Amino acid sequence: MSSVSFSKVGVVGLGTMGAGIAEVLARGELPVVGIEIDAAALERGRGHLEKSTGRAVKRGRLTEDAQREILGRVTLSTDFGDLADCDLVIEAVPERLDLKRRVFAELDRVCRPDAVLATNTSSLSVTEIAVATERPTKIVGVHFFNPAPVMKLVEVIGTVLTEDGAVGRVAGLVEALGKIPVTVGDRAGFVANRLLFGYLGQAVTMLESGHATRDDIDTAMTKGGGLPMGPFTLMDLIGLDTCLGVLDAIYEESRDRRHAPSPLLRELVTAGLLGRKTGRGFYDYAGAEAAIPHQAGPVPSVAVVGDGPLPALVTDAAGDEPGAADLVVVTGDAAVPGGLKPGTIIAITGPVLERAVASDRAADVVGLRFAELDAPLAEITTTAVTADATAARAAELLAGLGLTPVRCRDRAGAIVDALRFPYLNDAAAMLGAAYADADAIDAAMKYGCGYPTGPIADLDRLGLSRAVTTLRALHTETRDPSLAPTPLLEEYATANRPLR
């Protein structure tokens, strides 16, 4: 730790985050002063530290001697005066601006004049906290992710008031602690939460509008969007009260309706249904609820009409004449063929409604989309003329081919693209505004949110012209200005070159 320019670090608030941050610092061989509000809270803080390091010992990742040394480096106190000789203090008290401003005023009073003071806020303005002190040049944000000892990303935030050097010194410490620092300016939600919560908020609105069910949205984003968990599972894990607070704070700055918390989210929070921690949120964790898997029937007979791209699971099964098939997949510009037997389901991969209405079998037609040709997801879209039983039958037939079916209304982007392209557009907008560079944006989503790839890399993989086409369709349908492709995407798509 010789390259580290801090010799003693204070942590204020030893709750979920503060205890984790204190552990990270002590593991990095720094002496730490942990401050809590009263003796009982201090004991809880000690408990967090002992439990977390104890778990590491049990798993064989830490020896008992090393645990003793780590805990020995942390001095616990309820007296802010014990922070007097720290050259960095990290605040991790609850997310309330008035409280944080009070704590910073007190830190300003007790700490050395040259000490850097950092806040772990997720969504409050670092600048508003900085101006509560007499040393705004020495105030930074240092946003660890939960659980701090595990998560690699730390966003380091400088305001317009922060002096040159303070951000770099903190980023240097973060790196020496084995984490990945991403240095950004003071915008609500920084990089990771700003991008993540736009998507989560939009998922709730999608559910509330009746476009698709909770389970189908979660399934679509894991099986087709490649995410480790769906948006509702993730929000239940984060806590719906936290989600509401973060969305409110981001909306306050962005005025983007996708950040305005959906009434459904507010309703759940008011009802005390906060997610896993209360046993119920979007899901009920009492054990009564079990996902009902789609019933995969026998392998159906399939005919393909047209030459559009299809997953191997469909093309391998194809070969029957349309007149004899259970499922007719219509791709490219092809029309729905005539002479189909009764009960045949027709699935169209392009624009659906006009071809459905032009056929004599409109009630038997669904749309079919594949977000990724090599992913197992099949998105079934239904129009105003699709018969109720048709989508269920289509799901059964597609499950018979080994695909995971989900259903939604026939709208631009179905589920996966309707949720991922606005998120990718937001990332491109950050790049276009020079808020963060491509590496920082990708690192934030990979190491802060567990995404398998970052959004800039995703855009290049999916293709910018596909992004622009999908976003234009979403914009035309909703007239939501934030869904129009950002100028940077338009420009690079026109120039036919990737973002990197």
Ligand X SMILES: NC(=O)c1ccc[n+]([C@@H]2O[C@H](COP(=O)([O-])OP(=O)(O)OC[C@H]3O[C@@H](n4cnc5c(N)ncnc54)[C@H](O)[C@@H]3O)[C@@H](O)[C@H]2O)c1
Binding site for ligand X (CB under 6 A): 12-18, 35-37, 41, 92-95, 103, 120-122, 144-146
Cβ atoms within 10 Å, residue 60? 7
Instruction: Choose between 276 and 361: whose C-beta lies nearer to ligand X.
Output: 276
Instruction: Choose between 41 and 57: whose C-beta lies nearer to ligand X.
Output: 41
Question: Residue of minimal CB distance from ligand X?
Answer: 15
Residue 384 is classified by DSSP as T
Q: How far is the CB of 122 from ligand X (least distance, A)?
A: 4
Amino acid at 251: Y
**Active-site residue, from 193, 254, 262, 425:** 193
Residue 252 designated active-site:
no
Instruction: Choose between 108 and 458: whose C-beta lies nearer to ligand X.
Output: 108
- Grouping H, G, I as helix, E, B as strand and the rest as coil, residue 81 is helix
Q: How far is CA 36 from CA 75, 77, 210, 436, in A?
A: 11, 7, 46, 34
Place of tokens 């669904």: 366
Q: How far is the CB of 455 from ligand X (least distance, A)?
A: 20
**Active-site residue, from 155, 379, 396, 490:** 155
**H/E segment holding residue 183:** strand 180-184
- The rounded distance, in Å, linking the Cα atoms of 207 and 227 is 18
Q: Note whether 231 and 262 are within 8 A (CB).
A: no
Q: Note whether 442 and 449 are within 8 A (CB).
A: no
Q: How far is the CB of 463 from ligand X (least distance, A)?
A: 34
**Active-site residue, from 36, 48, 143, 301:** 143
Q: How far is the CB of 37 from ligand X (least distance, A)?
A: 4
Q: How far is the CB of 112 from ligand X (least distance, A)?
A: 19
Instruction: Choose between 13 and 261: whose C-beta lies nearer to ligand X.
Output: 13
Nearest residue to 480 via CA among 431, 433, 425: 425
Exposed/middle/buried for residue 306 (C-beta within 10 Å: 0-12, 13-18, 19+): middle
Q: Kind of pairing, strands 345-348 and 365-369?
A: parallel
Residues in Cβ contact with 194 at an 8 Å cutoff, skipping those fewer than 6 apart:
187, 188, 250, 254, 426, 430
Residues in Cβ contact with 222 at an 8 Å cutoff, skipping those fewer than 6 apart:
228, 229, 230
Q: How far is the CB of 81 from ligand X (least distance, A)?
A: 13
Residue 208 designated active-site:
no
- Grouping H, G, I as helix, E, B as strand and the rest as coil, residue 168 is helix
Instruction: Choose between 129 and 371: whose C-beta lies nearer to ligand X.
Output: 129
Residue 294 designated active-site:
no
Nearest-10 Cα torsion for 258, 382, 221, 213: 70
Residue 155 designated active-site:
yes
Q: Note whether 188 and 255 are within 8 A (CB).
A: no
Instruction: Choose between 9 and 336: whose C-beta lies nearer to ligand X.
Output: 9
Q: How far is the CB of 147 from ligand X (least distance, A)?
A: 8
Instruction: Choose between 70 and 92: whose C-beta lies nearer to ligand X.
Output: 92
Beta strands, E only, 363-440: 365-369, 377-382, 404-409
Nearest-10 Cα torsion for 404, 467, 312, 451: -60
**Active-site residue, from 52, 120, 122, 425:** 122
Q: How far is the CB of 95 from ligand X (least distance, A)?
A: 4
Instruction: Choose between 103 and 377: whose C-beta lies nearer to ligand X.
Output: 103
Amino acid at 370: F
Token readout for 216 is 């189908």
Phi, psi of 195 (to 5 degrees): -75, -45
Active-site residue numbers? Answer: 122, 143, 155, 193
